[in-house]
Every structure is written in structure tokens, then in C-alpha cells.
């Protein structure tokens, strides 16, 4: 048996893998030899208040983006959620503190995108008007399980736990100064991280791709929780077939995660995953570290920026959001839009007085807008019918307004960068326009045309 020690000085997290980690641990956390994947799996609760519940999940990856859908059980019900602290631990107090399952029925979406964890809880099949979007290192809301390191978790919990270690964040205090030992035991390698009187112990099976088969968390000498992973060969790689979670010395499992289907780099997989895929709409409110922001189709913007887009540039929220806002005000959509128009007149009059310009008016130029040409060519190439031509032009209008808004807001900085010949800054502002072009215009137009897979299946049907 051989052992060596490594001092690790940076907190382990899935987006900040450090070179000081033991090789066997780093390989698992940092491994992704596929561009896309799709995994269907379930989590079954065998003990506690949710005993008997099995939730159905789908996890999709595209590059570094990870999307998990928790569809709940057959009724779309989820584990019971406590929204206030109960008076005591009695069953009656817990029931009084719980939201009824049917109230929370519907898919729950979590997304690791653009270095943030995004979360939306749908009621039925309609997307909500609000959600959350926090930087990965600050996210305590539900986050997707990254199966690259799923077997490293001694416990499974969507909330308030480290997405890789699978332990409560407060239990992981002191982990940044962990000391590591690595031992060889036959075909297994055992890695132990010791920190602040606590230990994390992992076992890796060299005969099964050096993947983790056991993970345990100790507080002193007390075993708090642990997991056992069964692996199966999927193509050329070893992948979890099931992960069973235990509490303390209990011989009966508390949770069982089972993988039912998994595939890698198939043509049917999503090649790009964006917030719109989980139901984030233009105008959706997303709570983050600085309060509520709004999604503009490419990024999160402040409430002030959003209001200027609405009442100066003339953009409108997504129709579904308009419908819900009108409903909340006791109005029809038409009445609500008329109210918005009156507010817009006031904003534009004030803007014209302060800035001496009217950016909402179309620019007069002899040069054709390349974005207009792109859409015209797209319509011709895909032979769009009248309803889709209208949709395409609406997408174009929205994209150009977003582009022009950002160019106007950054005008002075762009001019300054041009005078200074600061290529780096100029490239930054060009990337904003390119991002709008790709994410709003191109991606929006592509949704108007069935891809080859959809067209083929329609033809077969």
C-alpha cells in the first residue's frame, strides 16, 4: 500500500478545478470527452416524509452548459417543500409548514449557463414570470447534477449543497485548507481530504475507468453520510448506473438515483442550450445578487435598462408576460398595451427634451442594413409562409432595437476606444452586437424552421 499527501489551497467547485488536486480526483471532475449528452434518470425517496416518491429527471449537456429538468412523479408532484420553519418536529407542525404538492406541480428547470445557476419552477406547463440566476459560487437554489462527478457526492440534494461534493456548504467550511492522502488498495485508489476535524473519503475503481464507487463524509469519527455507485460500460466509457445514498450507519438506503438511458454526441441532441429553453422569456424577472434583473434575450439587464427598452425604444415583453401583467391589472391585453403606449409617449417626450434625439425613429441611410439582408435571404431560402414571415420580421425588429440600444448606450465609450485605437475595447463592443445577432436573430429564426430531424420524423409519420 502506497500513500502520499497533497496540500490543497483552493475551494473545490466544478467551474474552478485546480491543478493541485490528486490526479485521480481531478480527472473525474475535469473530464468531459463528449460535446453533448442526454441522460434520463430518477431519484427515489425510500425513507422520511417523502418515502415512496420517485421524481423523473432529464439532464442535457451542450459544451459547458448543463440543463436539468425535474418532472416530478406521474402527477408532476415533487418532494414536500417547507416554506417556513415549523413550530416543532411533530408531523402536524411539518404538515402545517408545507406547501401542498399539487400547488407545486409542474417541471422544475435548473441550468448551468454563462457561469450562473438559473432556476425556474413552472406551475403546470406555463413558464413563471420570475426565477433566479446566481453566480455558481453563490447559488443556493436548485442546481443541476453534473454526472461527470456524480459519484463523488456522499449525499444528494438540489439545494444548499456543493454541486460536486454533495455536502451542505456549512459542513464544507475549512475545505479550502484540506490535506489530501492517496492510497492504493489493489485495483482501488482511496483519496482522503481532511479539514477542520472532518473528512471526505472517496474510492476509485481503476478497472472501471478510475471512476468513483464510494464517497463518505465524516464529522470527527462519526459517519454522517455516504454513497455507493454502480457503474456500467456505455460505449467506451464507464458511467453511473445507480448511486445509492445512506445516512450515518443506517444499512437501509435513504435515496436511490438510477440512470435509465444515456447517450453521447447524438445528432438528435441539442447543440446549444440557452435560458429560453427552460422558459426564460424577454422580460422575465430573475433574482440575483444585486436584486431583480430582466432577461433581454442575450443577457441580464437592470430594471432601468429594461424600462428604457420598453418606453424609449418601443420593445414589448413576451406575449405571455403581457397577458399575465394585464390579467394582474384587471385589463385586457389591448387595454394594457394602450396604457404602455401612453407611458411611452411621456418617456419619449422627456428623452427628446434631455438628449435632443429620437432613437425610436428609423435611421435614414442609403446603405442597406446587413441584418435586413440576412432575414430577407433566410425567408427566401426556407420559403416561409406569411405567418412565419411576420414572425421573422418581428424577430428582426426586436434584434435591431436591442442592437441600436446598446450601440447608443455605449456610443461615447466606443468613440473613446476608436480615438485611442483600443482594439480590445472595440472588440468587446463588437461582441455585444454579434451576441445579439447570434442569440436573438439567428437562433430566433432557426426556431421558425423544422430541422432535418424534425422534418424527417414528420415525413415518416
Q: What is the CATH number of the domain that holds 110?
A: 2.50.20
* Residue 99 placed within a domain: no
d(CA 395, CA 375): 9
| Within a domain: 276 | no
Asked if residues 197 and 19 have their Cβ atoms less than 8 Å apart, the reply is: no
132 domain-assigned: yes
Domain final position from 208, 237, 264:
264
Does residue 83 lie within any of the structural domains?
no
Element (DSSP H or E) covering residue 438: none
Phi, psi of 97, rounded to the nearest 5 degrees: -90, 0
Residues 114 and 244 in one domain: yes
Q: Are residues 299 and 202 in the same domain?
A: no
The pTM score is 0.84
Domain boundary at 235, 264, 293, which? Answer: 264
Is 96 within a domain? no
422 and 344 both lie in a single domain: yes
Residues 346 and 235 in one domain: no
pLDDT one digit per residue (tens) for the chain, 461 residues: 333 333 332 334 443 434 467 888 888 888 877 899 999 999 999 998 889 999 999 999 999 899 999 999 999 998 876 666 677 767 777 777 777 777 778 899 999 999 999 999 888 667 788 999 999 888 877 889 888 888 999 998 877 677 677 787 778 888 888 899 999 988 899 999 999 999 999 999 999 999 999 999 999 999 999 999 999 998 888 999 999 999 999 999 999 999 999 999 999 999 889 999 999 999 999 999 999 999 999 999 999 999 999 999 999 988 999 999 999 999 999 999 999 999 999 999 999 999 999 988 877 777 889 999 999 999 999 999 999 999 999 999 999 999 999 999 888 888 888 888 889 888 988 899 999 999 899 989 998 987 643 443 333 33
One domain, residues 165 and 41: yes
339-355 burial string, b = 16+ CB within 10 Å, else e? ebeeebeebbeebeeee
Domain-terminating residue out of 213, 233, 264: 264
Domain extent at residue 18: 3-71+106-264
Q: Residue 56's closest CA among 242, 269, 258, 275?
A: 258
Answer yes or no: do 247 and 326 share one domain: no
- Classified as helix, coil or strand, 255 is strand
Number of domains the chain is built from: 2
Do 433 and 288 lie in a common domain?
A: yes
Same domain, 287 and 259: no
Amino acid at each position: 500500500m502506497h500513500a502520499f499527501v497533497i496540500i490543497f489551497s483552493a475551494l473545490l467547485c466544478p467551474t474552478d478545478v485546480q491543478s493541485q488536486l490528486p490526479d485521480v480526483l481531478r480527472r473525474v471532475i475535469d473530464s468531459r470527452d463528449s460535446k453533448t449528452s442526454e441522460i434520463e434518470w430518477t431519484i427515489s425517496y425510500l425513507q422520511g416524509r417523502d418515502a415512496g416518491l420517485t421524481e423523473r429527471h432529464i439532464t442535457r449537456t451542450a459544451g459547458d452548459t448543463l440543463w436539468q429538468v425535474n418532472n416530478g412523479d406521474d402527477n408532476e408532484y415533487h418532494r414536500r417543500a417547507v416554506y417556513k420553519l415549523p413550530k416543532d418536529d411533530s408531523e402536524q407542525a411539518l404538515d402545517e409548514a408545507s406547501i401542498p404538492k399539487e400547488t407545486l406541480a409542474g417541471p422544475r428547470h435548473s441550468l448551468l449557463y454563462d457561469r450562473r445557476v438559473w432556476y425556474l419552477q413552472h406551475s403546470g406547463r406555463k413558464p413563471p414570470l420570475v426565477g433566479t440566476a446566481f453566480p455558481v459560487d453563490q447559488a443556493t437554489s436548485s442546481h443541476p447534477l453534473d454526472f461527470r462527478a456524480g459519484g463523488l457526492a456522499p449525499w444528494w440534494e438540489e439545494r444548499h449543497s456543493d454541486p460536486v461534493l454533495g455536502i451542505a456548504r456549512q459542513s464544507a467550511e475549512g475545505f479550502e485548507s484540506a490535506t489530501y492522502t492517496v492510497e492504493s488498495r489493489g485495483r482501488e485508489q482511496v483519496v482522503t481530504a481532511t479539514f477542520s476535524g472532518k473528512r471526505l473519503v472517496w474510492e476509485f475503481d481503476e478497472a472501471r475507468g478510475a471512476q468513483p464507487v464510494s464517497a463518505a463524509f465524516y464529522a470527527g469519527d462519526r459517519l454522517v453520510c455516504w454513497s455507493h455507485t454502480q457503474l456500467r460500460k456505455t460505449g467506451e466509457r464507464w458511467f453511473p448506473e445507480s448511486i445509492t445514498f445512506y445516512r450515518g450507519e443506517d444499512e437501509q438506503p435513504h435515496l436511490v438515483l438510477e440512470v435509465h438511458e444515456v447517450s453521447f454526441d447524438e445528432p438528435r441532441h441539442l447543440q446549444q442550450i440557452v435560458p429560453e429553453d427552460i422558459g426564460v422569456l424577454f422580460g422575465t424577472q430573475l433574482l440575483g445578487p444585486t436584486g431583480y434583473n430582466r432577461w433581454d434575450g442575450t443577457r441580464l439587464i437592470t430594471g432601468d435598462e429594461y424600462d428604457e427598452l420598453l418606453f424609449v425604444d418601443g420593445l414589448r415583453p413576451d406575449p405571455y408576460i403581457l397577458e399575465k401583467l394585464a390579467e394582474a391589472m384587471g385589463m385586457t391585453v389591448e387595454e394594457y398595451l394602450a396604457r404602455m403606449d401612453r407611458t411611452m409617449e411621456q418617456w419619449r417626450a422627456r428623452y427628446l427634451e434631455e438628449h435632443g434625439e429620437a432613437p425610436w425613429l428609423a435611421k435614414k441611410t442609403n446603405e442597406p442594413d446587413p441584418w435586413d439582408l440576412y432575414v430577407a435571404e433566410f425567408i427566401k431560402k426556407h420559403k416561409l409562409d406569411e405567418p412565419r414571415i411576420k414572425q421573422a420580421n418581428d424577430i428582426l425588429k426586436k434584434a435591431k432595437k436591442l442592437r441600436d440600444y446598446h450601440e447608443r448606450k455605449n456610443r461615447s465609450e466606443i468613440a473613446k476606444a476608436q480615438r485611442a485605437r483600443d482594439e480590445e475595447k472595440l472588440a468587446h463592443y463588437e461582441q455585444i452586437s454579434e451576441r445579439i445577432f447570434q442569440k436573438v436573430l439567428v437562433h430566433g429564426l432557426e426556431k421558425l424552421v423544422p430541422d432535418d430531424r424534425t422534418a424527417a420524423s414528420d415525413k415518416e409519420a
